[in-house]
Amino acid sequence: MATQLDPSALAGDRPRHVAIIMDGNGRWAKARRLPRAAGHKQGVEAVRRVARAARDLGLEVLTLYAFSSENWRRPAEEVQDLMGLLRHFLRAEIATLVADNVRLRVIGDYRVLSPDLVSMIDDAIARTAANTGPILVIALNYGAQAEIAAAARRLAAAARDGALDPAEIDEARIEAELTTAELPPLDLLIRTSGEQRLSNFLLWQAAYAELLFVDTLWPDFNGDTLAAAIESFSRRQRRFGGL
Establish whether 198 is an annotated binding residue.
yes
131 is catalytic: no
Establish whether 168 is an annotated binding residue.
no
Establish whether 23 is an annotated binding residue.
yes
Which residue in 56, 71, 100, 200 is the catalytic one? 71
Establish whether 103 is an annotated binding residue.
no
Sign of CA dihedral 133, 175, 236, 67: positive
Establish whether 234 is an annotated binding residue.
no
Establish whether 40 is an annotated binding residue.
yes
23 is catalytic: yes
Are the CB atoms for 58 and 7 separated by under 8 Å?
A: yes
Establish whether 68 is an annotated binding residue.
yes
Establish whether 101 is an annotated binding residue.
no
Establish whether 199 is an annotated binding residue.
yes
Give CA–CA dist 38/79, Å, rounded.
13
Establish whether 27 is an annotated binding residue.
yes
Establish whether 197 is an annotated binding residue.
yes
Establish whether 87 is an annotated binding residue.
no
Which residue in 23, 81, 141, 187 is the catalytic one? 23
- In three-state form (DSSP H/G/I as H, E/B as E, the rest C), the secondary structure along the chain is CCCCCCHHHCCCCCCCEEEEECCCHHHHHHHCCCCHHHHHHHHHHHHHHHHHHHHHCCCCEEEEEEEECCHHHCCHHHHHHHHHHHHHHHHHHHHHHHHCCCEEEEECCHHHCCHHHHHHHHHHHHHHCCCCCCEEEEEEEECHHHHHHHHHHHHHHHHHCCCCCHHHCCHHHHHCCCCCCCCCCCCEEEECCCCCCCCCCCCCHHHHCEEEECCCCHHHCCHHHHHHHHHHHHCCCCCCCCC
Write out the catalytic residue numbers.
23, 71
Residues tagged in the binding site annotation: 23-28, 36, 40, 68-70, 72, 74, 191, 197-199, 210
Known binding residues for substrate: 24-28, 36, 40, 68-70, 72, 74, 191, 197-199
